[in-house]
Every structure is written in C-alpha cells, then in structure tokens.
A and B are shown apart, each in its own frame.
Chain A
Amino acid sequence: MTCAYAVRGALKKFSGVESVEVSLNKGLATVRLKPGNNIRPEQFWEAVRKNGFTPKDTRAVLRGVALSVAGKPQIKVAGTNEVYEVIAPPTISAELNRDVGKTLTVEGMLKPTKDGKGTVPLQVQAITEGK
C-alpha cells in the first residue's frame, strides 16, 4: 500500500465526500463533496497530518452567504456555520460588500495553520456564481 493510497482512504472516509483523486506528481489531492455536506477543511488537514504528511495551500470552491463586518467582507458557510474572514483584491471585496446577504459560489485559497487550530482567512480569487 502506497502512502498516497493511505491519504486517499483517509479522506474518503468522511461522510459527504463524493470522490477523491490523488496525483503523486503534483502532490495534490482533489476532493469533490456532496451537496449538503458539513465538512470543514481542518478535518482534512488533520487526516493528512495523521498520515505523516504536511497539508499546504488548499484551493477551495464553496457556497456561502456574503457578510460585512465593519466594512470588511466575510463568507458564512451555512453547512458548518463557519465564518471566514476574506482577503481579496479591492474589486472582489467591493463586490462582496455589495452582495451582503446573497448566497455566492466563490473560489479561494486556505492556508492551514501550523498547529491546526483557529479559523484561517479565505483568500478569495473569484466569485463564480450568484453575482
């Protein structure tokens, strides 16, 4: 059994996971999730650590509600009730502030913390739906 196989198995065990593809060359695991899941990225990072590897940047596509706190955009993922602070270029921040209360599909990057604790900010790169 290869190590990649072990990671694939560990990620596939979570309820709400539709499929897992692991690319050895790219050092990348692509996880597709079922509608209505309540998975948080921290759960996957922990599973990766438990298998002896280090999780790095995670590109995520998610659906969430745009919020604005003191003029700063946030995204609330209803399934997990997690609220992510948003780091984004001014144009995307302005768009998010305009769309407060709307459900949007966004694409962004999450960087795991070293100890795996605390909520990480979401670096939004694009709003793909619901504008």
Chain B
Amino acid sequence: MKTIRSLCSLALLLIAGQLHGEFLQMDLSIFGMD
C-alpha cells in the first residue's frame, strides 16, 4: 500500500513537472549602461 502511495506521489510530481514552464535565464542587452 505504501509503495503504491509513493508511486502515485512520484507520478503526480512528474506530471506537475511536465506541465510547468518558465523562463530559466535572460541575457538583457542594455543600451546606455555605463
């Protein structure tokens, strides 16, 4: 039972990870910066 629960939690985490999206890095060129 415990194993099944753990597997379900892992599956939910994986699904959440798949649905997620975001910017990871941005390199902004800035004009006029001294």
Which residues on the B side are within 8 Å of A65 (C-beta)? 19, 21
Q: How far is the CB of B29 from chain A (nearest CB, A)?
A: 4
- Cα distance A63–B25 in the bound complex, in angstroms: 10
How many A-B contacts are there with CB distance less than 8 Å? 116
- Which of B20, B21, B25, B30 sits near A55, CB closer than 8 Å? B30
- Cα distance A80–B34 in the bound complex, in angstroms: 32
Which residues on the B side are within 8 Å of A30 (C-beta)? 25-28
B18 at the interface (CB under 8 A from A): yes
- Which of B21, B24, B28 sits near A44, CB closer than 8 Å? B28
Which residues on the A side are within 8 Å of B18 (C-beta)? 103
Q: How far is the CB of A123 from chain B (nearest CB, A)?
A: 14
- Cα distance A59–B24 in the bound complex, in angstroms: 11
- Cα distance A58–B19 in the bound complex, in angstroms: 25
A32 at the interface (CB under 8 A from B): yes
Task: Tell whether, in the assembled complex, residue A58 and residue B21 are in contact, meaning their CB atoms are under 8 Å apart.
Answer: no
Interface string of A31-54 (1 = CB under 8 A from B): 111011111110011001000111
Q: Which residue of B lies closest to A4 (CB)?
A: B33
- Cα distance A76–B19 in the bound complex, in angstroms: 10
Q: Which residues of A contact B (CB under 8 A)?
A: 2-4, 7, 11, 16, 22, 24, 27-33, 35-41, 44-45, 48, 52-65, 76-80, 103, 105
22 contacts between A and B (CB under 8 A): A4-B33, A4-B34, A7-B33, A16-B22, A27-B31, A27-B32, A31-B25, A33-B25, A38-B22, A39-B23, A55-B31, A56-B30, A58-B28, A60-B27, A61-B24, A61-B26, A62-B22, A77-B21, A77-B23, A78-B22, A79-B20, A103-B21
